[in-house]
Amino acid sequence: MNIRVLDTDDAKQYLLLRLEGLKTDPAAFGTTYAREVELSLMDFERRIDASETQFTVGGFDEVELVCTAAFIRSQGAKSKHKGSLIAMYCKSEYRGTGIAKEVVSHLIDRVKEIDGVEVINLSVVTENARAAAFYESFGFEVYGTEPKAMSDGDRYYDEHLMTLDLKVSG
């Protein structure tokens, strides 16, 4: 397994993995397959182009991208001390292998290197207890639950809001 920050050369694999996740686990994402499938390869290149404020970590089995998680730093003058872990997805056949843990660990370690970032937030659908427990294993804590956080048109999904204080977690 190889864990690293993605670059624009990874865009095609990222696009395919992202679309797979949106098909297989649509409730886990705030967007839809129909929306994302319309985006160009260049859109995905821009999305994963690492900068001071955002980056995407990928987990590879040899050369195949099988797991990703992204970080976006808040830009507001009073909120730049925090950011969000988003777009976490691991191919189903790699769940439980440890690669997702390595991807998120790498993401957290990289965030710790960003001057001034003290907090990582995320949201997880309340029905996904496995994901919530996964994040809790890193020290994330639920600080609230947002009712009707998402709707797919047929039903609503509540989300747990989770936070990791990097000053407390070390």
**Which residue range is the domain that position 96 belongs to?**
2-169
Full-model pTM: 0.92
Tell me which H or E stretch contains 158: strand 156-165
Tracing tokens 């956080």 back to the chain, one arrives at 149
Number of compact structural domains in the chain: 1
Q: Residues 29-41: pLDDT tens digits?
A: 888 888 888 888 8
Strand, helix or coil for residue 55: strand
What's the chain's average pLDDT? 93
What is the structure's pLDDT at 170?
59
Domain of 106, CATH number, reads: 3.40.630.30
Instruction: Kindly tell me if the per-residue pLDDT of 82 is higher than 90.
Output: yes
What is the structure's pLDDT at 38?
86
Q: What are the C-alpha distances in Å from 47 to residues 15, 50, 51, 85, 168? A: 10, 8, 10, 14, 30
